[in-house]
Structure 1
Amino acid sequence: MVEEHFIPEKYTKSIESGSFTWSSPSNIALVKYWGKKANQIPENPSISFTLDNCKTTTSLSFSKKEDTTSFAFEVFLDDEKKDDFKPKIETFFKRVEAYLPFLKEYHFKIETSNTFPHSSGIASSASGMSALALCLMSLEKELSNTNISEENFIKKASFLARLGSGSACRSLEGDLVVWGSHDAIKGSSDLFGIKYPYQVHSNFKNYQDTILLVDKGEKQVSSTVGHNLMHGHPFAQERFKQANKNLSDLISILKDGDLDKFIALVESEALTLHAMMMASMPYFILMKPNTLKIINKIWEYREKSGSKVCFTLDAGANVHVLYPEEEVNKVLEFIQNELVAYCQNGQYICDVIGLGANKI
C-alpha cells in the first residue's frame, strides 16, 4: 500500500457546520522507535501496549468559511486557548492536506483535555494527534457519503495520526499495536499501525501499567529533536538492527508467556532508548535521579520477592511499572510503600492495557 491510496475521491456531500468528539488513549512502547526518515517514516518497527486510563478527549467543531486559501483554527487545552500549539497543528494540516482536501474550507475549533500531565513523557502527542485524526476522519466520512468500512476508517486515521506524531498511529486500537514494516509480522507497514496479529498468552491479558510521575514538567528536549539526533548517530544502524531482532524475539515471548524473557527485553529496550539519547551529539539526559532510584528499587524487589514486575520508560523521566494482573495487590503495596516517595507530590496513575479509541 502507498500514500496515494489515502487520497479521497471527490466528495459528494456538503456540510455547513457540526462537531465530532473522540477519546483516544496513550500507548507505551515495548520495542521503541527512535529515529525517523522523511514523512514520519520510522527507522525501525515498534510495538506498544495501548493504555486505557491515560487518554485525550478532543472535540472538533467546524463551520464553512468563504476564504479557502489558508487554514483557520483555534486550539484549547482544558478550556484555555493555546496559541503555542498552533504551529504543530498547522504543520500537521500541511502534511495531511492532500489526503483531507476539505481542510481549508472550514474554520475549526479544537478543544482537548488529557487525563494526565501534558508533555511529561506519557505520549500526550500520541493520544492527542490520534484523537484529532479520528475527528477529521469522522468529518470526511460524512462528506464522502460512502460506506467506508471500519477497518479502512481506522487505517486511514492511523495513517493521518502518524503524520502528526509518529507514535500516534499506535493509539487507535489495542491491546498490542505494531508500527513499522517487519518481515515476520504480516500486514505491518511504515505508513500506519496494525493490531498485533498473532497469538498472545493469557499471562499478558489485562496487563497492568502504573505510571510513576517523577517529573510532571515539560521535557528539556522534545521527542522531535531527539529523533532528529539519530541522523549521523554513531550507534544508529546497530540500534535499528537490535530493534528488529527484539521484535522478532517478542513474537515467541508473547506466544509462550515467558515473563522472564519479557522483562529482560522490555527493560533493555527502555535503557537502550535513553542510552541513545546520552550518546547523541549534542547529548542529553531525560531521566532524573529519582528515575534511577525507582529502577534500582524495582530490581531489588524483584530479586527478593520473585515478582514479575518490570519497568519501561518513554522519552521522559516517568517510570511505567508493568506487571501481570495477578500481582496487582502486592505490586501496588510495594509502590505505595517504597516508590511513591520518589514521585513528584507522591503522584502516580494506575492504568491497564486498553482496546483503543472511542467516539463520544
Structure 2
Amino acid sequence: MFTAADFIPQKYNSTIDNGSFEWSAPSNIALVKYWGKKDNQIPANPSVSFTLNNCKTITKVAFLKKENQGTFSFDLLFEGKPKEDFKPKIQKFLERVAVYLPFLKDYHFTIDTQNTFPHSSGIASSASGMAALAMNFMSLEKELNPEMTEDYFYQKASFLARLGSGSACRSVKGNVVVWGNQKNIPVSTDLFGVEFPHTIHENFKNYQDTILLVDKGEKQVSSTVGHDLMHNHPYAERRFAQAHENLDQLISIFENGNIEEFIKVVESEALTLHAMMMTSMPYYILMKPNTLQIINAIWKFRSETQIPVCFTLDAGANVHVLYPENVKEKVLQFIQTELVAFCQNSQYICDEIGNGAIAL
C-alpha cells in the first residue's frame, strides 16, 4: 500500500521530447455515498461504487517539451473546439498535482477531450474526465520512469484523479471500487480507490444501470458547495457512521447475493444523501417532481411484479435504475412504457458495470 510520499518521484531515468497518449475513463455510480470531505480531497466517510461501461470520457493528451519551464502551459479542446471555461479547473488540478508530477511544467500540453454521453446530460463528467486526464499523465510518467510497476501506476493514477475530483478515484480500475478507510476492508484507504477485495456473487455480475435524464440543467448548488455544507451539519457524525455500517452490510450482501438487502441499502443511501442536502444550512433540494414520480413508479412496479429493480441517485435529479442482467428485458419494457414520460425529451442511457480506464 503506497503513501502520498511514495508518489513524489525522486528522479527520472529517461527523457522524452514529444508524443501523445489517449485514454478512456468511465463515470461511476456510488452505492454507499461519499458526502462531506476534509482538506486535500479526503473523504469524510468511505464509499463504494459500480464502475460504468458506456458513459465515459475519452481524452487525448499531446505533449511537447518547451524552453520556458517555469509555468504550466496547455490548450484545452472539448469535442475538438477550444473550451476556455474548463481551463480554470484544469489549472487548479495541475497546481494540486505538481509536486507528484514535477515534469508538468516542462511541456506544453494539448488536451482534447470528449464524452460519450450528451454534454449537460446531468451525468457527472468530472469523475470520468479527471480519471482520463490522470491516466494520460501517468502514461507520460511511465515513459520517464520505465521501471514503474503496474500497481504503482494504477494507484497513483487514482490518487491523482482524486485531487481533481474526489469520485474520479473510483473510475480508474475495477468494477466495484471502494474509496475511504473501512475497518473490514484492510486494503481500503482515503488516498485512492481500490478494487473491492471480497467475493462478489454472480447476482451482481453484469449489473445494469439505466440512467433516466430527468433534468439536464445545471444544478443550483454544486457538489463542492454541498460537501462543504457537511462541516457544521447537525446530522453529519451519524451520517458518517451510517456509511461505515452500510458498507459493512454490503460486504456480506455481495458475498451471499441477497438482492433484497442490496436494494434496501442502496435506496436508503440515495435518499439519505438527499436528506443531508435538505437538512443543511442553507438547505436545498436537487430532486425534481419527476424524480419522485419515477421513484414511486419503481416501488409500485417492484411490489406488483417482484422484479428486483431499484434506484439510486447522484447529487442531482437524474435516476439510476439498477437491476440484474437476467431481468433486463422486463425492466427496459417498464422503463419505456412507464418511466420515459418523466425524462426530459424522453432521454435515457443504457449502461452496465465496466472495468475502468482503457488505453486507446
Q: TM-score range by the shorter chain?
A: over 0.9
The answer to whether the Cα contact below 8 Å between 1:120 and 1:318 also exists between their aligned partners in 2 is: no
Matched to 2:11, the amino acid is K
- Quote the offset at 1:120 in angstroms: 4.7
Q: Does 1:316 align with 2:316?
A: yes
For residues 62-99 of structure 1, the C-alpha deviation after alignment (integer angstroms, 9 at most, x for no partner) is: 11111122111111111121111111111111110000
Matched to 2:268, the amino acid is S
The answer to whether the Cα contact below 8 Å between 1:120 and 1:219 also exists between their aligned partners in 2 is: no
| Alignment root-mean-square deviation, CA | 1.0
The answer to whether the Cα contact below 8 Å between 1:207 and 1:323 also exists between their aligned partners in 2 is: yes
Q: Which residue of 1 aligns with 2:276?
A: 276
For residues 238-271 of structure 1, the C-alpha deviation after alignment (integer angstroms, 9 at most, x for no partner) is: 1000001000111011101111110010000000
The alignment-based identity, stated in percent, is 66
Q: Which residue of 1 aligns with 2:62?
A: 61
Separation in 2 of the partners of 1:194 and 1:214? 31
Q: Which residue of 2 aligns with 1:285?
A: 285
- Quote the offset at 1:121 in angstroms: 4.2
The answer to whether the Cα contact below 8 Å between 2:212 and 2:318 also exists between their aligned partners in 1 is: yes
Separation in 1 of the partners of 2:264 and 2:279? 22
Separation in 1 of the partners of 2:72 and 2:283? 37
Q: Which residue of 2 aligns with 1:195?
A: 195
Separation in 2 of the partners of 1:22 and 1:315? 26
Separation in 1 of the partners of 2:147 and 2:312? 41
The answer to whether the Cα contact below 8 Å between 2:33 and 2:48 also exists between their aligned partners in 1 is: yes
Indicate the larger mover: 78-87 or 130-139. 78-87
For residues 205-253 of structure 1, the C-alpha deviation after alignment (integer angstroms, 9 at most, x for no partner) is: 1000000011122222111111111111111111000001000111011
Separation in 1 of the partners of 2:242 and 2:163? 25
**3-state SS of 1:209 partner:** strand
Separation in 2 of the partners of 1:305 and 1:48? 27
The answer to whether the Cα contact below 8 Å between 1:27 and 1:49 also exists between their aligned partners in 2 is: yes
The answer to whether the Cα contact below 8 Å between 1:206 and 1:352 also exists between their aligned partners in 2 is: yes
Q: Which residue of 2 aligns with 1:184?
A: 184
Q: Which residue of 2 aligns with 1:135?
A: 136
Q: How does 1:3-152 map to 2 (within 5 A)?
A: 3-118=4-119, 120-144=121-145, 146-152=146-152
Once superposed, which parts of structure 1, at least 4 consecutive aligned residues long, lie more than 6 Å away? none
**3-state SS of 1:299 partner:** helix
Q: Does 1:219 align with 2:232?
A: no
Q: TM-score, normalised by structure 2?
A: 0.98
- Quote the offset at 1:119 in angstroms: 5.2
- Quote the offset at 1:118 in angstroms: 4.0
For structure 2, which runs of at least 5 residues remain unmatched after alignment?
A: none
Q: Which residue of 1 aligns with 2:160?
A: 160
Distance of aligned partners of 1:277 and 1:118 in 2 relative to their CA distance in 1, 3 Å threshold: farther
- Quote the offset at 1:152 in angstroms: 1.3
Q: Which residue of 1 aligns with 2:246?
A: 246
- Quote the offset at 1:174 in angstroms: 2.1
Matched to 2:77, the amino acid is F
For structure 1, which runs of at least 5 residues remain unmatched after alignment?
A: none
Q: TM-score, normalised by structure 1?
A: 0.98
